[in-house]
């Protein structure tokens, strides 16, 4: 992977699901609704002064959202924060930088 570039797309791991769980309330607040399904499907990473996670999340039976979540360096002792998101995605939409 090129420094600053995006990694290849990988299947979501329990660690990525944990990150998604931590930003769910931020997402719901910005969308002004709640979601019963909030399952990480796939992700890509970008190393910056921390890590940007680009995560495909299933939000209902046939609807997906792409989340960009920033995780600061461990020394900063901060949880993940939802930077941006895209809704209206499908399972087949590729994860790209946004």
| Per-residue model confidence as pLDDT tens digits over 40-54 | 999 999 988 889 999
Read off the pLDDT band of 74 (50, 70, 90): confident
Q: Residue 1: is its pLDDT beyond 70?
A: no
Instruction: State what percent of residues in the chain have pLDDT above 70.
Output: 96
Burial (Cβ within 10 Å: 0-12, 13-18, ≥19) of residue 60: exposed
Indicate whether 3 pLDDT > 60. no
Greatest alpha-carbon span in the chain = 39
Measured CA to CA, the distance from residue 52 to residue 43 in angstroms comes to 10
Domains and their CATH numbers in the chain: 5-89 (3.10.450.10)
Averaged pLDDT of the chain: 92
d(C-alpha 93, C-alpha 66), whole Å? 9
Distance between CA 80 and CA 52 in Å, rounded?
A: 9
């Amino acid at each position: 992977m090129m420094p600053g570039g995006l990694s290849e797309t990988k299947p979501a791991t329990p660690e990525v699901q944990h990150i998604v769980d931590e930003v769910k309330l931020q997402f719901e607040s910005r969308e002004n609704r709640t979601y019963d399904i909030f399952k990480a499907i796939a992700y890509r990473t970008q190393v910056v002064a921390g890590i940007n996670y680009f995560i495909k999340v299933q939000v209902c039976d046939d609807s997906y959202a792409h989340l960009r979540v920033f995780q600061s360096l461990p020394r900063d002792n901060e949880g993940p924060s939802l930077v941006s998101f895209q809704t209206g995605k499908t399972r087949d939409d590729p994860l790209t930088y946004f």
